[in-house]
Amino acid sequence: MNHLLKHHKSSRKLTTLVENKTTYSADYAELNIYETHEYAEKIALRFDFPVIASMLTGKKVMHIEGMSSFDFFPGESVVMPAGKEMVIDFPLARKNNPTQCLTLGIDTEKITEVVERFNADIAVEKESHNWALDSTASHLLHNIEVDYLVKRLVYTFTKNEVSKDILLDLMIQELIVRLLQTKAKAFLLKNTDDDVFNDTRIGMVIKYIKQNLTDKEISVDILARKACMSVSHFHKKFKSTLGVSPIDYINSEKIRFSKKLIKESKELRISEIAFKSGFNNTSYFNRQFKKMELMTPQQFKASIVPG
C-alpha cells in the first residue's frame, strides 16, 4: 500500500498528529486520507453523506452503534450510511509508524443512479425485490474485489492524470455494484426466512442449493429450470446479482461445508470429505479448496489438528 500513497506523501501537509486529513475531490466523490501518528482513543467521525472507510496501514478499534466493537485492519472496509457516527481507538499509532485509513464519500444521486441500473439489470418479470445501500453499517472482510477497487481509487485520486474524473467515475460505479452484490449475497446466505427465499427466483435457487448441496448431480441446467429461465439468461442474472457464477457459488458452498466436516470429523480421510461434500473427484476438490482457501485440505486439517 505504501507505493500507492507515494503521490499523497509528497504533497500532503501534516497539521495534527491525530486524524490529519487530506482531501481529494472528483465530480461525484470525495476521498479523505487520514493519518494518526500517536496513540489515541474515542475519536469520533460522522459524515453527511454515505462513505466507504478502508484501512491502509496499522490497526484501529471501531465502535459503531448497532455493531459489536471490532479490530479494523488493512484490506478491510466499512460501509457507513450518512449521519452515522463511528468512534475510533488507535492502539498502535506511532510517529514513525502512523495508522492510515481513508474514507470515500459518494454523491447520493450517483448512488441512486447506479442502484436503479443494478436493480433494472437483475430484475426478473413479476419480482419486486430491490437492493439498496441503506441505513445500516456493514463490515467487509476479505472482499478481494472491493479491496482491489479501493487501491485503484487511491492511486487515481492522488495522481493528477488528464482522464482522472472519467476513470474515477467508472471505478465508483463498479464499486457501488460490488457493494450491492456483497449485500445481496450476504442477505440471501444468512437469512433463513422462507418468505425471503421465495421472493425472488435467485432466492429460490439459493434455497434449493442449500437443501441439495451435497447432491453430485446438481448443475446449472437444473438450477436454470428451477428459476424458469434459459441457461444463459439464468447465468447472467445469477452473476449480476451475486457477483459470482453459479458453479463458483456452488463450489464455494461445498468447500465451506467441507471445512465444517474437517473440523467436526477429524477421523475422515480427505477423499471421504470430498465425497460427502458433493465432489465426485478428489483432485478437483483439492484444486477448488486450494483456489478458495489458499491451502490444501490436508494443510487446513493440519492447521486445526496439531501434530
> Do 298 and 179 sit in the same domain of this protein?
no
Other CB atoms within 10 Å distance of the CB of residue 265: 11
Is residue 304 within 8 Å of residue 267, measured between CB atoms? no
End position of a domain, from candidates 169, 190, 211? 190
Domain encompassing residue 186:
1-190
Q: Give the domain CATH number at 102.
A: 2.60.120.280
Q: Are residues 156 and 74 in the same domain?
A: yes
User: What pTM was computed for the model?
Assistant: 0.60
Name residues of the chain where pLDDT drops below 70. Answer: 1-4, 6-7, 10-11, 122-135, 141-142, 184-199, 305-307
Do 127 and 35 lie in one domain? The reply is yes
Instruction: Please count the structural domains in the chain.
Output: 2
Q: Are residues 170 and 228 in the same domain?
A: no
Q: Report the pLDDT value the prediction gives residue 186, as an integer from 0 to 100.
A: 64
Structure confidence at residue 34 (pLDDT): 94
262-294 confidence digits (pLDDT tens):
988 878 999 999 999 999 889 999 999 998 888
Q: What is the DSSP code string of 65-102?
A: TTS--EEE-TT-EEEE-TT-EEEEEESS-BTTB-EEEE
CA–CA distance, 198 with 212 (Å, rounded to integer) = 16
> Are 184 and 204 in a shared domain?
no
117 and 1 belong to one structural domain: yes
Examine the fold and report which residue of 125, 158, 190 is the final residue of a domain before the chain moves on.
Answer: 190
Res 192: pLDDT: 45
One domain for residues 203 and 128: no
Where among 134, 161, 190 does a domain terminate? Answer: 190
Residue 98 confidence (pLDDT): 92
CATH number at residue 254: 1.10.10.60
Residues 6+ positions from 186 with CB-CB distance below 8 Å = 138
Residue-level pLDDT at 126: 46
Q: What are the residues whose beta carbons fall under 8 Å from the beta carbon of 294, sequence distance 6 or more?
A: none
The pLDDT, as a whole number, for residue 4 is 63
pLDDT above 70 as % of the chain: 85
The reply to whether 167 and 205 lie within a common domain is no
In terms of domains, do 299 and 279 share one?
A: yes
Within this chain, do residues 148 and 242 fall inside the same structural domain, yes or no? no
Distant-in-sequence, close-in-space partners of 28: CB < 8 Å, separation ≥ 6: 106, 107, 110, 168, 169, 172
Residues 158 and 202 occupy one common structural domain: no
Phi and psi for 181 in degrees, rounded to 5? -65, -40
- Say if residue 93 is in the same domain as residue 202: no
51 three-state secondary structure:
strand
